[in-house]
Amino acid sequence: MERKRTSAKFIFSIILGISLFGACEYEFIQPEQVVIPETISFSEDIIPIFNNSCNFSGCHVAGFSFLDLSPGNAYEDLFRKDMIDLDNPALSRLYTKLIESNGTHDSRSTPTEQATILEWINKGAKNN
């Protein structure tokens, strides 16, 4: 009798294990392809990022925040507020704010936008 009970428990454990693990589903999420323009223009590539991510909500418009990223003021304010580090682009405050995973700017920009901004700084952060 004890042997039947042990066999039943074993079979039940196997069925339960198959049911639990068989119900698990893994969905592979393809990471976003990062495509950076060969030439980066502040007015054509960077300002649209600010308009879509920073100015859209009203956070970084004139008079509302520490940093004014509106089209007419963004370039000067980025340098006036020491947001760009041409010697160490990856340490630029503009870039590090965008890539913080637990900060106020989390998920406000895409990996492509972040890479574009970093590359713009790497190429001298020109006002073009």
**49: number of Cβ within 10 Å:** 21
The token duo for 36 is 């950076």
**123: number of Cβ within 10 Å:** 13
pLDDT in tens, 11-56: 767 775 666 666 566 677 777 788 888 899 999 999 999 888 766 6
- Say whether pTM exceeds 0.85: no
Residue in the structure block whose two tokens are 């574009």: 116
Do residues 84 and 90 lie in contact, with contact meaning Cβ atoms separated by under 8 Å? no
Label residue 93 by pLDDT band (50, 70, 90). Answer: very high
Query: Residue 127 pLDDT > 80, yes or no?
Result: yes
Query: Residue 114 pLDDT > 80, yes or no?
Result: yes
